[in-house]
């Protein structure tokens, strides 16, 4: 069975239920990296009031038209308008109001002169007593301002009813800032795919405890759960069993109940204690895919919930996830499809011409990739030194240094 054929069958199993998931209403604080499920229309105009873009003086542009550096237009300062709630009094002709950035521009005023273009004492540096430019004194305007200058008009960002964020937007910080600016506190987003991860093996123990000879620490519970989260899924259950099918069946029943997808590790090859194979019934197809690592694969449903069974070797489990689960989970999470990436290899690669090899690689400068470590699917520390998988196709026995290969980023 080719890798591509198995990948297509896995996608055909998973995509229909994933595509039909519902909607969650989430607070902005929980909306990062979620996918908007309905268009967000602006409920208000933004800005919602005429506001100043600068610290300075609200003026009538006609009053300051003749102003120059040498011949300032000197006008009385009749009011001060800080940013904050309330409507300032209208500005009479021939007067100015000291105004701060973000404050409401008074009626009667159509421009703001930044304080730098006046002879006022800078706002932050008052001596005791009224300084030039404060309310009750005068200010000299040194340059003209056209009508509208430094005034942020109502609706100049967006009009009420206009589209702010289209459905399908993968929500980043700038999208959340826009929603918040509209006064929107929560958003409708696509429900995340709920994933359960189950690892198996009598020899597998939780990290942090002592391991006897014959025991290994559980790489896959943590590795697969993290991979699912990074692909945009919600990991709702993680659990481990030994090689007892009744124990596994009980855990899988819970997993199938709570999740949209169950991932298992281990127990799928040719040994005497293949607990996953022994527990799963007719709903799951076990097959050998022409890929190394990650050859033994199973897929189907358990009590109505899709399940993928990955081999237990830690590198095999990660590679299986990247090749078979990640594309469909990322699609469900609204992530853009990954582009096919090719790189030139820094050294020759020998490869069995019967299986697609997924070697560990490190991306280098100038579009290169270097194979790191061996091909063994237990070489988990070596995998940690890699940032990509290097694909050597099924029918290729050798790749020469400088030739192109496809790479898949981890």
The token pair at 408 is 């898949």
93-97 own/partner pairs: CB under 8 Å, 24+ apart: 93/60, 93/63, 94/60, 94/63, 96/57, 96/58, 96/59, 96/63, 96/139, 96/141, 97/57, 97/58
Q: Which does 387 bind (CB under 5 to 8 A by kind): ligand LQZAQKY5, ligand MOO, none?
A: none
Name which of ligand MOO, ligand LQZAQKY5, none residue 373 binds, using a CB cut-off of 5 to 8 Å depending on partner kind.
none
Contact 132/72 with Cβ under 8 angstroms?
no
The string of DSSP letters for 18-40 reads HHT--EEEEEGGG-TT-BB-S-E
CA separation for the pair 44, 3 (Å, rounded): 51
Q: Which residue is nearest to ligand LQZAQKY5 (CB)?
A: 312
Q: Which of 88, 133, 267, 294 binds ligand MOO (CB under 6 A)?
A: 294
Task: Choose among 315, 208, 307, 316: nearest CA to 259.
Answer: 307
- The residue within the footprint of ligand MOO, chosen from 51, 52, 220, 292 (CB under 6 A), is 292
Torsional sign, CA 179, 185, 189, 195: positive
> Taking the complex as a whole, how short is the minimal distance between the CB of residue 227 and ligand MOO, in angstroms?
16
Q: How many CA atoms lie within 13 A of 316 on its CB side?
A: 24
CB of 373 to ligand MOO, least distance (A): 14
The CA distance from 237 to 119, in Å, is 68
Q: Which of 409, 410, 393 is nearest to 340 (CA)?
A: 409
- Give the residue with the Cβ less far from ligand LQZAQKY5, 55 or 218: 218
Q: Are 208 and 230 in contact (CB under 8 A)?
A: no
Q: Which is nearer to ligand MOO, 56 or 311 (CB)?
A: 311
Classified as helix, coil or strand, 163 is strand
Using the rule CB under 6 A, which residue among 220, 238, 265, 313 binds ligand MOO? 313
- 297 in contact with ligand MOO (CB under 6 A): no
Residues forming the site for ligand LQZAQKY5 (CB under 6 A)? 199, 201, 203-204, 216, 218-220, 265-271, 274, 293, 295-296, 311-314, 316, 377
293 binds ligand MOO per the rule CB under 6 A = yes
CA distances from 156 to 40, 56, 133, 219, 302 (A): 18, 21, 30, 54, 55
| Least Å from the CB of residue 289 to ligand MOO | 8
Which one of ligand MOO, ligand LQZAQKY5, none is in contact with 133 (Cβ closer than 5 to 8 A by kind)?
Answer: none
Contacts of 225 (CB under 8 A, 6+ apart): 195, 197, 235, 238
Among the listed ranges 19-27, 58-66, 101-109, 286-294, the one in contact with ligand MOO (CB under 6 A) is 286-294
56, interface contact from ligand MOO, ligand LQZAQKY5, none, CB < 5-8 Å by kind: none
CB of 166 to ligand MOO, least distance (A): 42
Residue among 267, 295, 314, 334 that touches ligand MOO (CB under 6 A): 295
Scan residues 334-393 and list those touching ligand MOO (CB under 6 A): 377
88 sits near ligand MOO (criterion: CB under 6 A): no
Q: Which residues in this chain contact ligand MOO in the complex, by CB under 6 A?
A: 292-295, 311, 313, 316, 377
């Amino acid at each position: 069975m080719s890798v591509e054929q198995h990948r297509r069958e896995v996608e055909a199993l998973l995509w229909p239920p994933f595509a039909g998931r519902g909607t969650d209403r989430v607070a902005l604080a929980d909306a990062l990296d979620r996918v908007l499920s309905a268009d967000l229309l602006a409920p208000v105009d933004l800005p919602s009031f005429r506001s100043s873009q600068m610290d300075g003086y609200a003026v009538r542009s006609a009053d300051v038209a003749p102003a120059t550096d040498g011949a300032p237009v000197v006008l009385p300062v009749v009011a001060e308008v800080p940013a904050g709630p309330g409507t300032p009094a209208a500005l009479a002709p021939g007067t100015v109001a000291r105004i701060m950035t973000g404050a409401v521009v008074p009626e009667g005023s159509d421009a703001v002169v930044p304080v730098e273009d006046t002879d006022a004492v800078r706002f932050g540096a008052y001596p005791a007593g009224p300084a030039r430019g404060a309310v009750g004194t005068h200010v000299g305007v040194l340059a003209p301002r056209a009508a509208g200058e430094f005034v942020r008009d109502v609706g100049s960002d967006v009009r009420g009813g206009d589209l702010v964020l289209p459905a399908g937007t993968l929500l980043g910080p700038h999208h959340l800032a826009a929603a918040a600016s509209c006064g929107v506190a929560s958003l409708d987003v696509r429900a995340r795919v709920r994933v359960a991860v189950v690892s198996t093996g009598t020899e597998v123990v939780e990290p942090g405890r002592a391991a006897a000879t014959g025991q290994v620490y559980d790489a896959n519970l943590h590795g697969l759960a993290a991979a699912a989260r990074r692909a945009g899924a919600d990991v709702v259950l993680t659990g481990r069993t030994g090689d007892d099918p009744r124990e596994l069946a009980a855990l899988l029943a819970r997993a199938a109940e709570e999740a949209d997808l169950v991932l298992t590790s281990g127990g799928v090859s040719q040994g005497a204690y293949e607990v996953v194979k022994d527990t799963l019934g007719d709903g799951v197809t076990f097959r050998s895919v022409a890929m190394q690592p990650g050859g033994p694969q199973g897929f189907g449903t358990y009590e109505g919930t899709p399940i993928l069974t990955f081999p237990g070797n830690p590198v095999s489990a990660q590679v299986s996830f990247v090749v078979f689960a990640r594309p469909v989970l990322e699609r469900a999470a609204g992530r853009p499809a990954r582009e096919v990436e090719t790189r030139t290899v820094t050294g020759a690669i020998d490869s069995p011409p019967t299986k697609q090899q997924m070697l560990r690689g490190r991306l280098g400068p100038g579009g290169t990739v270097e194979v790191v470590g061996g091909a063994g699917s237990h070489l988990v520390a070596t995998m940690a030194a890699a940032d990509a998988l290097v694909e050597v196709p099924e029918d290729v026995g050798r790749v020469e240094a400088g030739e192109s290969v496809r790479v898949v980023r981890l």
